[in-house]
Amino acid sequence: MRRPNLTIQSLIPNDIRPFTTSWLLPPLALSLLRLLFFTYCLVTTLTNWIYDGVHSSAHLIGEEFSYFTVLTYWGILFYSLVAGTHTLIYALKGRSWLETWPRPLQALHSFFYTTIVTLPFLVTIVYWAVLYDAPWFPIMFDGWSNISRHALNSFFALAEVILPATNPPPLLHLVGLIVLLLLYLALAYLTHATQGIYVYSFLDPAQGSGRVTGYCFGIAAGIVVIFVVISGIIWVRSKYTREGKRSKRDVQRHLSLDQEVEMRADIESAK
C-alpha cells in the first residue's frame, strides 16, 4: 500500500486542469453550473439581509459573520464564482487564468476546493443533529433560509465532489481543516468577549466544561471522518471515470504543440 505523501510538495497540484474540467460535463456547462450556484448563494445572502433590514433586525447582519454556517456559505459563494470564472475562461480560450498563477496560489486554490467539499457537510450534520429543535419553522421564509444554508450547502459541495475531474486532496489538507476549526473556535469566544453572546449554545462553559470539550473533540473527529469519506469518494470517482473533458481550444493547442515537436524531430533526424 502506498504511503501518504506528507511533504509540502504534495500541496502543489501536478496538473491544475482537473479543477476546471469534468468527466461528465463539457467545460462551458461546468462553468455555467458553478456560476448558477454562485448566483443562488448571492441571492440567498442578499435576501436574508433585506429581510432582516425590513423586519428591524439589521443588527443580525453584522452578527451572522460570527456563525460558522454563514462563513462556510460565503466560502461556497466565492469558490463558485472563482472556479466558475476560471472554468469559463478555460472553455473559451483553452487555458484558464489558474494555469498561469504562481504555484503557491494554485496550492491555495486546491485547499480552497478541499474546504468546499468537506466543511459544508460538517455544517449540515451539526445543525440537523445538534442545533435544530422541532417543530418546523412557522414562517416560510425561515424554512427556506435554513434549507438553503443547512441543506443545499451540502448539495453544492456534493456536486463539487462528483462532477469535476479533481484528484483526492493531500493528507496535509486535513491539518489545514483542523487549524481552520481552531481559528473559528477563537472567533466564537472573541464574539462572546466583544458582544456578550455565544453563537452556538454548546460553546457556553456554563453548561459544563466537559460538555464543551466533548463537543469540540466530537466536531474535530467529525471533520476527520468527513475528510476520509470524501477523499475515498473522489478516489473511486477518479479511478472509474474518464479524464476531464477538455476545451476544444485546449485540444487544438496541444495538437499544435505535438505537431511542432514532431517537426523538430523530423528536422533533427534529417540532419
Q: What does the pLDDT read at residue 258? A: 47
Domain ranges (residues) in the chain: 16-270
**Mean per-residue pLDDT for 4-26?**
93
pLDDT in tens, 158-170: 999 999 999 999 9
Q: Is 22 helix (H, G, I), strand (E, B) or coil?
A: strand
**Mean per-residue pLDDT for 225-229?**
99
Look-up of cell digits 486546491: 110
Average pLDDT, the chain: 92
Q: Is 230 helix (H, G, I), strand (E, B) or coil?
A: helix
Query: Of 39 and 3, which is predicted with more confidence?
Result: 39
SS3 string of 58-98? CHHHHHHHHCHHHHHHHHHHHHHHHHHHHHHHHHHHCCCHH
In this prediction the pTM is: 0.92
Q: Are 98 and 13 in contact (CB under 8 A)?
A: no
Q: Rg of the chain's alpha carbons, rounded to an integer?
A: 22
**Mean per-residue pLDDT for 185-203?**
95
| pLDDT level of residue 270 (50, 70, 90 thresholds) | low
Q: What angle do CA 79, 49, 142 make, to 5 degrees?
A: 95
pLDDT in tens, 75-121: 999 999 999 999 999 999 999 999 999 999 999 999 999 999 999 99
**Amino acid at site 54:** V
Q: What does the pLDDT read at residue 149? A: 98
| pLDDT level of residue 271 (50, 70, 90 thresholds) | low
* Alpha-carbon span 241 to 165, nearest angstrom: 9
| pLDDT level of residue 269 (50, 70, 90 thresholds) | low
* Alpha-carbon span 258 to 64, nearest angstrom: 53
